[in-house]
């Protein structure tokens, strides 16, 4: 068995796809077990190549994997806790970043200023396992009964600092509706109130609010068949990358060089206010780097990615 630890969220899983596929190719005859939260199961199925999901929500409980794995791979973090969690399964070999505190002297050094996709591809490369950082595509889900061709706005984020102001999302929803878009608002159950507030301010009907009403598989299907996605730096943005769905991603305070879509894909447009002498953030509401992003900038970015889609469609035809 090859045991891989990635006990995080949607974006974390999608950015690990090239590394997971590289491990699948490197060990074609071995069971590939992924230690990740059980709620990610629909998305794990869409990644492909994973034989078993080991329900792992955090690092505070032992991994229940049965027999010792031949190889354990830390795609979770730099250690030491994640290293020790895998070491406790007594693997034949541990692939991980060097961490003296965890007693791991093998492996490359951790680099903080690095894109998340490249981080895990570099780790595997150290162990002579080639990974293609462009291999980010996800399988398309079957029909779920949700609308196709809709524009998905995702105003929430688990990290409040990464949220673009709700009133600007509402203004964006109004402007896109005027342009002929069918706007739907997504989010978790905890973000349903936020999505409803945006819909109300935008004059959208109540059935445009899908926050808390879709499981992960349905959300993936919605994004896969969407016209456009606009969101902050969160899981939905990574789904749009995985499906090649036109997207505008609003970044701050973390730069897109760490988590953004591949820069060579013009149907994904990133907006980032950049480094600067920003006012001190008081910890409430949007971070100043997010508040600095203007509505007209977002609308211009939408026009750009839609033009790219039209041109690429015409070329394909």
Question: What confidence category does residue 274 fall into, taking pLDDT thresholds of 50, 70 and 90?
Answer: confident
- pLDDT above 90 coverage of the chain, percent: 86
Q: What angle do CA 146, 156, 289 make, to 5 degrees?
A: 135
Residue with the larger pLDDT of the pair 155 and 105: 155
Domain(s) labelled CATH 3.40.50.2000 in the chain stretch across 2-127, 151-316
Residue 317, pLDDT score: 36
What CATH class does 151-316 carry?
alpha beta
Residue 26, pLDDT score: 98
Instruction: Quote the tokens at residue 206.
Output: 């109540």
Instruction: Quote the tokens at residue 273.
Output: 């206010």
Model confidence pLDDT, tens digit, residues 198-226: 999 999 999 999 999 999 999 999 999 99
| CATH fold group of domain 2-127 | Rossmann fold (3.40.50)
Altogether, the residues listed in the chain come to a count of 317
Average pLDDT, the chain: 94
Question: What confidence category does residue 1 fall into, taking pLDDT thresholds of 50, 70 and 90?
Answer: very high
Model confidence pLDDT, tens digit, residues 296-311: 999 999 999 999 999 9
Q: What angle do CA 110, 251, 279 make, to 5 degrees?
A: 95
Is a pLDDT exceeding 80 seen at residue 313? no
Instruction: Quote the tokens at residue 17.
Output: 């796809």
Outline where the chain has alpha helix (H). Answer: 10-15, 17-26, 41-47, 81-87, 116-126, 166-178, 192-202, 216-224, 235-243, 256-259, 288-291, 295-316
Question: What confidence category does residue 155 fall into, taking pLDDT thresholds of 50, 70 and 90?
Answer: very high
Residue 275, pLDDT score: 72
Question: By mean pLDDT, which of 9-13, 79-83, 236-240, 286-290 is the weakest?
Answer: 286-290
Sheet with 32-36, strands from edge to edge, namely 52-55, 32-36, 2-5, 71-74, 93-95
């Amino acid at each position: 068995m090859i045991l891989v630890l990635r006990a995080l969220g949607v974006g974390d899983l999608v950015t690990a796809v090239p590394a997971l596929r590289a491990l699948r190719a490197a060990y074609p005859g071995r069971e590939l077990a992924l230690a990740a939260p059980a709620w990610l199961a629909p998305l794990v199925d869409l990644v492909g190549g994973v034989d078993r999901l080991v329900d792992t929500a955090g690092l505070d409980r032992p991994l229940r994997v049965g027999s010792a794995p031949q190889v354990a791979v830390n795609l979770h973090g730099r250690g030491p806790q994640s290293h020790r969690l895998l070491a406790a399964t007594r693997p034949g070999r541990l692939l991980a970043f060097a961490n003296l505190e965890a007693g791991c002297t093998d492996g490359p050094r951790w680099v903080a200023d690095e894109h998340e996709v490249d981080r895990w591809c570099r780790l595997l490369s150290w162990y002579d396992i080639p990974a293609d950082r462009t291999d980010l595509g996800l399988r398309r889900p079957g029909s779920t009964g949700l609308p196709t061709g809709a524009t998905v706005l995702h105003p929430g984020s688990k990290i409040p600092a990464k949220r673009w102001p709700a009133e600007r999302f509402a203004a964006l929803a109004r402007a896109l509706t005027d342009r002929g878009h069918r706007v739907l608002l997504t989010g978790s159950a905890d973000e349903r109130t936020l999505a409803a507030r945006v819909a109300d301010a935008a004059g959208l009907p109540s059935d445009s609010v899908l926050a808390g009403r879709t499981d992960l598989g349905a959300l993936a299907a919605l994004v896969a068949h969407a016209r456009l996605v606009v969101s902050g730096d969160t899981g939905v943005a990574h789904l749009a990358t995985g499906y090649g769905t036109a997207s505008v991603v609003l970044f701050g305070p973390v730069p897109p060089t760490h988590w953004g879509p591949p820069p060579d894909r013009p149907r994904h447009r990133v907006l980032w206010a950049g480094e600067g002498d920003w006012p001190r953030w008081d910890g409430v509401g949007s971070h100043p780097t997010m508040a600095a992003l203007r509505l007209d900038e977002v609308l211009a970015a939408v026009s750009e990615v839609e033009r790219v889609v039209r041109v690429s469609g015409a070329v394909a035809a």
